[in-house]
Every structure is written in structure tokens, then in C-alpha cells.
Amino acid sequence: MRAAATNSQAVKSAEAEASAPSAWPAAVHYEHHPLARFRPVPENPCMPDLTLPLETFRRNARVNAVLLAALTPADYEFSDGRGGWTVAKHLTHMAGFRADWLSNISPAHVEPLFVLVDGKYVWRWEGRAPAELREAFTVSDEAALQAVHNAIQNNQPFADPWNEGTYQSNPVHFLMHTVVHDSHHRGQIMSVLRLGGHSPEQMDALENHWAIWRE
Ligand code: NI
């Protein structure tokens, strides 16, 4: 009976919590709520659970890796033949996107992406073979994650030295922007590869990466 009383007390206190004004579902309903995984973690009510956005960012990295692994040295030089970017240029721009933004919004986290050459800091993969871009993506993604993690931990928005809007509502938007930007350029790379003579079978094989998003 004692256990029953304790249970009933627990239910009562859960109900009291449920009726209290709160932006989030009460704990007793938490596991079953569709937004459960976005509930703030208990240790820090200001910090949302980042499981899903981080998983999206990791999946994006895997998609980039699949694309890079499928490319041959000749593929990198394909373009639309009308002055559009080559595949290598798209990929360089995608990887460099992280370094460019991090330089502005979180300079402390950009160091692994640059080297000192003749007294000037240059992007580490500048002028290197496109095949080395895989490393650029890996290192840059990690730097981006560190920067976001740091901003959240310290409850400190990103810097905005040029007043251009730097994810002031939530630093995690930097990761989402990166995913969307990568996807925008991957679509263009697919067009260039098709124009460059990839067979329908080869294009189909590349399209298989969508399975990563459906896991
Ligand atoms: Ni772009």
C-alpha cells in the first residue's frame, strides 16, 4: 500500500507540475511528447537538447563523404561549359564556407583551418588537390561544432563584426545553414556531373546517398 501511496503522490505532483505554466510538456508526459527530444536538459534549462540538429549535421557530413568518395580526378574539372563553377570549385567553396563564417563569428575556433604562410594566414587547403578536401570537410565540421558548443555552453551569441546577422537567435542555426548551403551546392554538382557525361546508372548510384537522410 505504501508503494501505491507513493505512486499516487508522484502522479499528483506530476499533475501539479503539468498544470503549472510552462513552455514545455510536464515531465510525466515528456517521453511520449512529439517534441520530447527538444526539451531543455534538466541541468541547464536554457540549453535545448541538441541531439537531432547535431545528428542532422553528422548526416550531412556523411553525405559529403559519399559524394567525395565517388568522384574521380577527372570529375573535379567538369563544369557546365558556360562559365559555371567546376565541381572542384563548388566543393572548395562548400568547405571554405565554414572557415569564412567561423573567422567572423568565432575566431577562436578557426585556427585549425588556417596556416601561416609568409606572415599571412591562408586557408589550409588553398591550392591543394581537390582530393584533399575530404580532410577540409572533416576538420571544418569539427571546428563548427566546437564553436557552436562553446557559444551554447557560455550562453554567448556569436560575434557579428560586420552587422550581417550571425545566428543571434540560436548558434545552432549556423549548423543548419551549413547543411542547407552544402545541399544547394551538391545539387549543382549533380547537374554538372550529368552534363559531364555521367551515365544514368552512375547518377542513380550517387542518388543512393538519400538513404542516409531516411535512417
Ligand atoms: Ni554558396
pLDDT band at 33 (very low <50, low <70, confident <90, very high): very low
Beta bridge partners, 117, equal: 120
Asked, for residue 104, whether it belongs to a domain, the answer is yes
Helix or strand or coil: residue 116?
strand
- For residues 116 and 28, membership in a common domain is answered with no
CA distance 25 to 15: 11
Beta bridge partners, 114, equal: 123
**Poorest-confidence range of 19-33, 52-66, 73-87, 110-124?**
19-33
Q: How many A from CA of 51 to the centre of ligand 1?
A: 26
Asked, for residue 15, whether it belongs to a domain, the answer is yes
pLDDT at 12: 44
pLDDT at 49: 80
Asked, for residue 44, whether it belongs to a domain, the answer is no
* pLDDT tens sequence across 169-210: 999 999 999 999 999 999 999 999 999 999 999 999 999 999
Asked, for residue 196, whether it belongs to a domain, the answer is yes
Asked, for residue 66, whether it belongs to a domain, the answer is yes
Distance of CA 111 to the CA centre of its chain: 19
- For residues 86 and 192, membership in a common domain is answered with yes
- For residues 115 and 11, membership in a common domain is answered with no
Q: Which three cell numbers stand for residue 205?
A: 548510384
Q: pTM of the prediction?
A: 0.78
pLDDT at 106: 97
pLDDT band at 43 (very low <50, low <70, confident <90, very high): low
Q: How many A from CA of 29 to the centre of ligand 1?
A: 42
Asked, for residue 93, whether it belongs to a domain, the answer is yes
Provide the domain limits for residue 16. Answer: 1-39
- For residues 130 and 71, membership in a common domain is answered with yes
Smallest CA-to-CA distance from 27 within 50, 47, 5, 10 is with 10
CA angle 198, 202, 207 (to 5 degrees): 115
Q: How many A from CA of 18 to the centre of ligand 1?
A: 46
CA distance 74 to 71: 8
pLDDT band at 65 (very low <50, low <70, confident <90, very high): very high
Q: How many A from CA of 9 to the centre of ligand 1?
A: 57
Asked, for residue 45, whether it belongs to a domain, the answer is no
pLDDT band at 28 (very low <50, low <70, confident <90, very high): very low
pLDDT at 50: 85
Distances (CA, A) of 103 to 60, 93, 110, 174: 22, 15, 6, 13
- Scanning the structure block, which residue is given the C-alpha cell 555552453? 153
- For residues 17 and 82, membership in a common domain is answered with no
Q: How many A from CA of 119 to the centre of ligand 1?
A: 29
pLDDT over 90 (residue 37): no
